A and B are shown apart, each in its own frame.
Chain A
Amino acid sequence: MPETVTLEVRRYRPEEETEPTWQRYQVPFRREWMVLDALNHIKDHQDGTLSFRWSCRMGVCGSCGMMVNGDPRLTCATYLETLLPGPVRVEPLRGFPVIRDLVGDLTDFLTKLKRVQPWIVRQTEGPPAQGEYRQTPDQLAAYRPYAMCINCMLCYSACPIYELEPSFLGPAVIALAQRYNLDSRDQGREARMEVLSEHDGIWACTFVGECSAVCPKHVDPAGAIQRYKLEAVVAWAKGLVLPRSGT
């Protein structure tokens, strides 16, 4: 095992430079260290000006997504050991404007997320005395995989369509819309379909499939989008054959 490992970190300091540059750091190598630990070592002991986001260190908060050797990864879940002998290249997530160093601007995602109403929509609310809306294990299983999304944005960084067409709603937004559509307690399906069936919704996706490959929570947004397309086509065809069926 080596004593140290080299990290090549993408720096961008808007007050000093117009283009990002690479900066090399030498950090001690520890078997139990993740890439995030190495970055924190740099921040604490070598260069306090290096900026990056992180919070939980256990793959739950979704803050520390970065490009590691060209792949979108959660840096808190990527062992340095798997990247030996290095150098390990760390860049901000692809597809988002860079504010500083490894920090991207995610406003676009948050704006789009709100549009699909990622919460349970009810046409009528039962009185509280009636109790909670109950679900069977099967009803829970229908949407549960999509509920695992931690908004880490790795799927956006893996999606070339989002990079080419930034107006595309993107994988996580559609998967999260599907999470509520498939929930037996929800009644907002039609309102969401309005947004999702727009030009920049499901039809912009060309099924590259990388979003699902990089998802640390195995959400499979690509699958969600294709299922949605199929459902939309079936609904359209039904409307064509049986115009009065109300679909």
Chain B
Amino acid sequence: MNPAYRRYHPKWYRARMPIFWWLRRVSYFRFIARELTSVFVAYAGVLLLVQVRSVAAGPEALARFTGWLQLPPVAALHVVVLLALLFHTITWLHLAPRAMVVRLGGRRVPDVAVLLGHYGAWLAASALVVWVVVR
């Protein structure tokens, strides 16, 4: 190549993504929080399985498990887990109408109806779990 051309040859500048990119915008932070709280969702699932196992293992195991749940640090942790679960669930449900285009009778079902449907399903599932646990 003619060295004279090199002077005008584009030398791209590529910016590096900062490690704290998710602090750049509120929406990025909300997104990261939604993704990270899924760890708590997994934890809640495991907790439920352990509870079911202790129920199956007999009253003694269940009492031990319930006793552990009542320890103040464990209870405090579970308040945090509950808040994280609520945050995750609500932000997740509010995304649902964007992904689902439901058509009924040739018309598009409004987003609010899709959202309320999800809330309804959530309530029904929660009621079922409560019924199974309390029964």
Contacts and interface: CB of A to CB of B under 8 A. Distances in A.
Interface of A: 12, 14-15, 18-20, 70, 94, 97-100, 105, 138, 160, 163-164, 206-210, 212-213, 220, 222-223, 226-227, 229-230
Given A14-B10, A160-B22, A209 B100 contact: no
Contacts of B10: 14, 99-100, 105
B95 A207 contact: yes
Contacts of B95: 207, 209, 226
A155 B100 CA distance: 21
B116 to A, nearest CB: 19
Contacts of A222: 98
A70 B100 CA distance: 32
A206 to B, nearest CB: 7
A138 B107 CA distance: 10
B27 A208 contact: yes
Given A15-B7, A230-B100, A97 B28 contact: no
Contacts of B98: 209, 212, 220, 222-223, 226
B17 interface: yes
Contact of A230 (B7, B8, B35, B99): B99
For the side of the interface on B, what is the size category? 20 to 34
Nearest to B21: A160
Contact of B28 (A98, A105, A210): A210
Interface of B: 7-8, 10-15, 17, 21-22, 24-25, 27-28, 31, 35, 95, 98-101, 106
Given A226-B95, A226-B98, A138 B28 contact: no
A229 B99 contact: yes
B24 to A, nearest CB: 7
A100 B9 CA distance: 11
A164 B28 contact: no
A99 B99 contact: no
A98 B99 CA distance: 34
